[in-house]
Chain A
Amino acid sequence: MEKLLKRIGEITSDPYAYVARLKEEKEKRIIGCFPMQVPEEIVHAAGLIPVVIWRGNEAVTWGHSHIPPYYCGIVRSFIDDAVRGKLGFMDGMIFHVRQCLLIMDIPLIIERHVKPEYMKLLYLPPVYPGKATRDFLRSDLELFKKSLEEYTGNTITDDMLKSSIAVYNENRSLLERLYEIRRKKPRILTSAEITKIVWAGMLMQKEDHNELLRDLIPLMEARTVETATTKIKVIPVGCLCQAPPFDVLNMIEDLGMVIPDDDLYVGSRYFANKVNIDDNPIEALAERHLKKTPVCPTKGVWDVLWADDVEEMVKLNNASGVISIHVKFCPPHACYYPDFKSRMIEKGIPEILVQVEHEMLSMEGIKTRLQSFTESLGGNNGEKI
């Protein structure tokens, strides 16, 4: 197990080097998909390797000439990486420009400074009722498929698409299994390790990630873990488009809390909802996009409540509280947050907000908040009893 975790650690500690190597080893083109809603299956079916674009861990430098500081971390970091030439291994890039206002900043900058061979803007609509939205979504996906066919010179047949969907569905099932084990044995791995496993899957070819998970899962199943009944269980929620800083996850655990599950993008939100393999594949991908849960504040869902989703997760895990992780300057989450908070209060679920920034100047503020949160839940801040 340690060997597998080490491999995952290597991939996620330097995703740039890993993806560049992947391209050479597989002799395939790499397509960066900006999180969170690009249907990677279509890219995969085109014989390309889709990787989910990530937030780097370096301070923004050249990017300052293109993006103001009051933009979310992933947009700033990605632009900085791109204009510094750190993403030269990406042959293509895909942006869903209707996800939020901030993504809309990206296309011109990329096109002007580091235009890749293939660049596609998707207009995937929000989850609005009616045939018009469904038709438009389907046509957006069809055009996406066509543009990939033109790029590669190969037709993407329904069978090819179905087999890519099968690979992705398997990945979703394996990650679900991983999370089930974690739920039963929450301390089997640290939350940072779990996040890295999910994140690695966004960087690896999915078949390879599946293989890795197939090796890892039995080892996790076999391992026994001491159960500490004194630990308080909490559910981290949110952190759209990017992995939460590992320091924050570690801090939560160091303070004596356990994370048995999560509602994070680089977490359970990424692998939620399988694609129905029996349908017409484009229809099926459209169906997945139109799923209202897990509730995403970028997708125009108001009649299903995010707080209800999270309440279920809290109950399922017998958790004591919720830690909202908000990426500073992420408007969809910021605008939704007050309603989430007030519902948590109504439901009697203790909740706290932690805001994370690309360049975290100090962790002290977060530590103080988390300490008092632990205490309010009856914890002892990780001190040995």
Chain B
Amino acid sequence: MEKKYKLNRLKTTNDIRPLVDQHWASLREAKAKGEMVAWASAPTFIFAFAMGMKCHFMAGYSAYCGGIGAAVDVLQAAKMGGDLAESCSYHRLHMGMAEAVRRDIPINPDAILPIPDIMIAGRLCPEMAYYAEGLNRRLGVPVLPIEFPIVFDREDVPRIKKYFAAQIKETVIPTLEKVCGKPFDYDRMSEILTVLKKVVTVRNKCWEFFKEKPSPWTLWDYGVSIAPLFYMMGNPVGIAYYEKLLKELQERKEKGIPAIGPEGEKYRLYWDGWLPWAFLGKFMRKLTPHAAVCLTGRYLWEFYPDPDMIDPEHPVETWINLYYDGKEPLAMEYAPKGALHDIGNLIEDYSLDGMIMFSSKTCRLWNISQLDVIDILEKKYGVPGVIIEGDMIDPSMVSDSQIDTRLEALFELIDARRR
């Protein structure tokens, strides 16, 4: 008889939803409490947090919308505002939310955020600036733009780092000081980084459990746990969360409880690109019956892999260095050369069998040269990969039958290589 596989859910991850809900609720309530509000794209929110502002984060909001099931209505509101379905769904969610507010279109109230005092447009992906530009045109909200270049070649790093640093000094800090009417709070930024350093250190211990065979947890578990590493940065509850997670993983290891029951995974997979926030359950339901599990992904490894780089004594420099310094600067991982390096490491470090390359039809950030990237990696590491096309949020772009066929093809390829 065919074996039945099932997912052994972690208990700790149940704690995250209330924390995340609380984060977004505090943002929703900020204006009523007289607090300053910023919206930010790319990792620029830390500057707003340092100033005591409540700050949204573009991708975080989008993931949240997907997670609470609000995305379809918000996307519909964007359509009513004239947005084209081919525009990136994170952009559309923001335009949709603003349209809903402007025209009183009913959407899930949890998806409605206060219109900010400033939009910090970190242009890591050029499209991260479009929503801020658009909302400025529609609502007149001031924009604080920061060019945040992805780096293609290592030799370009020093001058781009210098440019990024100059913008922070010349534009970001003075603008926030002006908006908030007080000097930039370097001490608060240091405190945030102190907490981040602790969270990252514990998180790295959790990462080690992905190396276990069978693995006691999945990439999806980690994916739902990223808020404390990112847009909830500086909140000490993140330390407690990761410590609890680490404890549960240790217990699982001791008791021999794998993420996929009864005896663990058959296929250890790499996942490239955004997590499909609105479809995490769908993918899990498709992977688990095959005893397949995603364990790593370049996107979720971007959250500060090296705690030693976090120096709270030098907060602004730390932030610059995290993206533009070190052996493999984070700003290089989106470009193909950095991707090859990072994915290659993950394949080796976590003994992976195959790659799922999620290709979003509306966001090309992680798709850059993806077909060639797979080809190079397959040849170098002997690990097969398939592309699954879709979207992180928009259900009209996700096809069940394509997912099924591509996954089957992947499992066949892995099996064939094992024979």
Contact = CB atoms under 8 A, between A and B. Distances in A.
A112 interface: yes
Given A300-B129, A337-B82, A339-B134, A132 B368 contact: no
Contact of A335 (B87, B153, B369): B87
Given A101-B368, A108-B337, A338-B81, A135 B166 contact: yes
17 contacts: A65-B371, A66-B372, A68-B371, A68-B387, A101-B365, A101-B368, A104-B364, A107-B336, A109-B369, A132-B171, A135-B163, A135-B166, A300-B129, A302-B136, A331-B87, A335-B134, A338-B83
Nearest to A339: B137
A131 B169 CA distance: 11
Residue from B132, B134, B359, B376 having most chain A Cβ neighbours under 10 A:
B134
B139 to A, nearest CB: 11
Interface of A: 65-68, 70-71, 97-102, 104-105, 107-109, 112, 121, 123, 125-126, 128-133, 135-136, 139, 143, 297-298, 300-303, 305, 326, 328-329, 331-332, 334-339, 341-342
B33 to A, nearest CB: 29
A129 B171 contact: yes
Contacts of A334: 84, 86-87
B143 A302 contact: yes
Interface string B139-179: 00001011101101100100110110011011100000000
B129 A101 contact: no
B368 A298 contact: no
Nearest to A97: B152
Given A107-B152, A128-B147, A335 B367 contact: no
A337 B84 contact: yes
A297 B126 CA distance: 10
A111 B82 CA distance: 39
* 9 tightest Cβ-Cβ pairs between the two chains A and B: A338-B82, A132-B166, A302-B133, A108-B336, A335-B130, A108-B369, A136-B163, A101-B364, A334-B84
A84 to B, nearest CB: 16
B82 A300 contact: no
Given A139-B159, A302-B137, A338-B82, 12 more contacts: A66-B372, A70-B361, A104-B152, A123-B160, A129-B145, A132-B171, A335-B83, A336-B134, A337-B84, A338-B95, A338-B134, A339-B134
B123 interface: yes
Contacts of B159: 136, 139, 143
B284 interface: no
B170 A130 contact: yes
Contacts of A130: 167, 170-171
A297 B137 CA distance: 13
Contact of A68 (B123, B127, B367): B367
A109 B372 contact: yes
Nearest to A302: B133
How many interface residues does chain B have, given as a range?
A: 35 or more
Contact of A98 (B137, B138, B149, B369): B149
Contacts of B361: 68, 70
A186 to B, nearest CB: 30
Interface in B101-147: 123, 125-127, 129-134, 136-138, 143, 145-147
Contacts of B369: 66, 105, 107-109
A331 B376 CA distance: 28
B389 interface: yes
A365 B336 CA distance: 38
B54 interface: no
A336 B364 CA distance: 17
A74 to B, nearest CB: 14
B88 interface: yes
Contacts of B146: 128
B371 A67 contact: yes
Contact of A331 (B82, B130, B162, B389): B130
B224 interface: no
A303 B132 CA distance: 12
A380 B335 CA distance: 52
Contacts of B152: 97, 104, 107, 121
Nearest to B369: A108
A302 B145 CA distance: 10
A63 B318 CA distance: 42
Given A125-B147, A336-B134, A338-B134, A105 B368 contact: yes
A297 B367 CA distance: 22
A332 B125 contact: no
Contacts of A342: 82
Contacts of B156: 121, 123
Interface in B170-215: 170-171
